[in-house]
Amino acid sequence: MKKLALLLYFLFTNILFANILQDAIDKAPAGAILKLPKGVYKGNIIINKPISIIGQENGVIIDGQNNGIVIKITSSYVTLKNLTIINSGGQYEKLDGAISIVKSNMGKLTQCEVSHCTIKDCLFGIDMQMVNNSIISDNNITSKNLSLGLRGDGLRLWYANDNIIRGNSLIKSRDMVVWYSHGNLIENNYGRENRYSLHFMYAGENLVKNNVYERNSVGIFFMYSQDTTAIGNTIKSSQGATGMGIGLKDASNFTLKNNTVIYCAQGMYIDRSPFEPDAHNLIEGNKILYNAEAIHFHSLSINNTIKNNIIQGNIEDIVNDSKRDRVVDNDIVGNYWDNYEGFDKNNDGIGDTTHKVYQYADQLWVYNPKVKFFYGSPVISLLNFLSRLAPFSKPLFLMEDKKPKILKNTKVIKG
């Protein structure tokens, strides 16, 4: 009898929690505020009206029971606060995840909010499709315990404009993506152990500000995008042989300012950027420190203005992996180079001679991937030294900074 009573108790409890929250949503009038007490609410829910669901205290858990999308929102003016959302399904083609905010037949959604929520063991985190003027803030998001490429995206913006993405933490998800989305503010977020902590494609007029990304494969990558500013971000320790800090691919009219890129394989990667005719990119006031390569040029990339940056402690300052490209056609001026060999006799803060960068024996590994196995080894270092001392092949001229900056009373900058 005791076993039967216990079984009936668990069955009743599961049925109750599977229906109580959806029933409350269905019965609530538009504009209602549902304040949930601590407990586990099992089952998927659908929100198709303006409503607020707020956890009164910590420990309000919505459990998707490893099935589908845990919370699906198809209405504007929906707010979720102080909830823990766990156990989505695992189907990629259905974008199974914690929260899906997608347009209904009424068109684009507006003014939704998801804040102070914890998302765990969900394939995708928050999926926003055709969502405008909404706030995603102060959430902690992780994916399922899968290998990097098999995780879902922690946060997805798709045709989502003029949103505020602030103060979120994405750890061990796959990517945060901003695709076909414009006018978004992305600030004070933290990303760790992801693939792309932030990936843009066909996006414009976004502001990326004061984010911290570390131990990802790529920090921030801008692709086929334009008219965006990235300012005050810190990208640290991008992992792997090609770990990248900030990348520009076919990106036009960008401003990268006052960012710190440190301990990456490639600090800044510039590929056919700017792309649009008569467009320019501004790379100013950044600290590019202790990377294998400070700035890597790939394909034809001209009309970039690179000025007033601190370039220090990198193995290679400038790398160009395409023989016919014209690095020299970028405006590179007023930067601090720690390996500048000139003087400042008049103490005006500008070197008396220009700073020229050549490619010597390192051409061997730039153009021959097999040789790159020895990159950073004493053998290549010795070849570079001998090439500078008595060149045995004509060095390749890369660029010239006509006004290299001399920092007064400089100390070693550390990350």
379-401 pLDDT, tens digit per residue, is 666 666 666 666 656 677 888 99
Instruction: Return d(Cα 388, Cα 391) in angstroms, integer.
Output: 6
pLDDT of residue 378: 72
Q: CB within 8 A of 41, min separation 6: which ones?
A: 17, 20, 21, 60, 61, 62, 63
Q: What are phi and psi of 137, to 5 degrees?
A: -140, 145
Which residue among 127, 143, 174 closes a domain? 174
Dump the DSSP string for 203-235. Answer: -BS-EEES-EEESSSEEEEEES-BS-EEES-EE
Residue 69: CB partners within 8 Å, gap ≥ 6?
44, 88, 89, 94, 95, 96, 97, 98, 99, 100
Establish if 179 belongs to a structural domain.
no
* Average pLDDT score over residue span 317-338: 87
- Show Cβ contacts of residue 414 under 8 Å, excluding neighbours closer than 6 positions: none
Give SS3 for 386. helix
d(CA 375, CA 381): 9
Is 225 part of a structural domain of the chain? yes
Is 190 a member of any domain? no
Pairing of strands 396-401, 355-359: antiparallel
Domain presence at residue 119: yes
- In a domain, residue 10? The reply is yes
> Could you say which of 130, 145, 174 is where a domain stops?
174
Which residue from 76, 170, 190 is spatially nearest to 122, judged by alpha carbons? 170
Same domain? 264 vs 299: yes
* Domain extent for 9: 1-174
Q: Is residue 379 part of a domain?
A: no
Is residue 216 domain-shared with residue 121, that is, in the same domain?
no
Indicate if 242 and 115 belong to the same structural domain.
Answer: no
Q: How many domains does the chain have?
A: 2
Evaluate the CA torsion angle 148, 154, 159, 161 in order and state its sign: negative
* 156-184 residue pLDDT tens: 999 999 999 999 999 999 999 999 999 99
Same domain, 119 and 239: no
Q: Verify that 101 and 211 share a domain, yes or no.
A: no
Categorize the per-residue pLDDT at 12 as very low, low, confident or very high, splitting at 50, 70 and 90: very low
Q: CB neighbours (10 Å) of residue 350?
A: 15
Integer Cα distance of 233 and 387 in angstroms = 37
The percent of residues in the chain predicted with pLDDT above 70, rounded, is: 84
The pLDDT of 13-39, averaged and rounded, is 84
Domain presence at residue 165? yes
Residue 371 lies in a domain: no
pTM, 2 dp: 0.88
% of the chain surpassing 90 pLDDT: 74
**170 and 199: one domain?**
no
* Cβ atoms of 384 and 360 closer than 8 Å: yes
What lies within 8 Å, CB to CB, of 2 at 6+ separation is: none
Say what the pLDDT of residue 25 is: 97
For residue 360, pLDDT beyond 80: no
Pairing of strands 135-137, 164-166: parallel
Residues 259 and 246 sit within 8 Å (Cβ to Cβ): yes
Amino acid letter, residue 244: M
* Domain-ending residue, one of 140, 174, 208: 174
53 alpha carbon, distance to own chain's centre: 29
Nearest partner of 251 among 304, 198, 211, 212, judged by Cα: 304
Residues 130 and 46 in one domain: yes
Q: Verify that 153 and 203 share a domain, yes or no.
A: no
Q: Are residues 240 and 151 in the same domain?
A: no
Give the model's pLDDT for residue 87: 97
Residue 77 scores a pLDDT above 90: yes
Q: What is the pLDDT of residues 279-297, one digit of tens each?
A: 999 999 999 999 999 999 9
Residues 269 and 312 in one domain: yes
Helix (H) or strand (E) holding 400: strand 396-401
- Res 142 pLDDT > 90: yes
**CA 229, CA 297: separation in Å to the nearest integer?**
20
209 vs 16, more confident? 209
Using the predicted structure, report yes or no on whether residue 153 has a pLDDT greater than 80.
yes
CA distances from 116 to 189, 309, 346 (A): 13, 37, 56
CB burial class (10 A; 0-12, 13-18, 19+) of residue 37? Answer: exposed
Please determine, for residue 273, whether its predicted confidence score (pLDDT) is greater than 70: yes
pLDDT at 45 over 90: yes
Q: Are residues 262 and 323 in the same domain?
A: yes
Average confidence (pLDDT) over 371-377: 64
Q: Average pLDDT, stretch 77-106?
A: 93
- Residues belonging to the chain: 415
- For residue 376, what pLDDT is reported? 63
Q: Give tens-digit pLDDT for 221-272.
A: 999 999 999 999 999 999 887 899 999 999 999 999 999 999 999 999 999 9
Average pLDDT estimate for 63-73: 97
Residues 6+ apart with CB under 8 A from 333: 306, 307, 401, 402, 403
The answer on 201 and 169 residing in a single domain is: no
Least confident of 193-207, 212-226, 374-388: 374-388
Asked if residue 13 lies in contact with residue 40, where contact means CB atoms within 8 angstroms, the answer is no
Per-residue pLDDT band for 58 (boundaries 50, 70, 90) equals very high
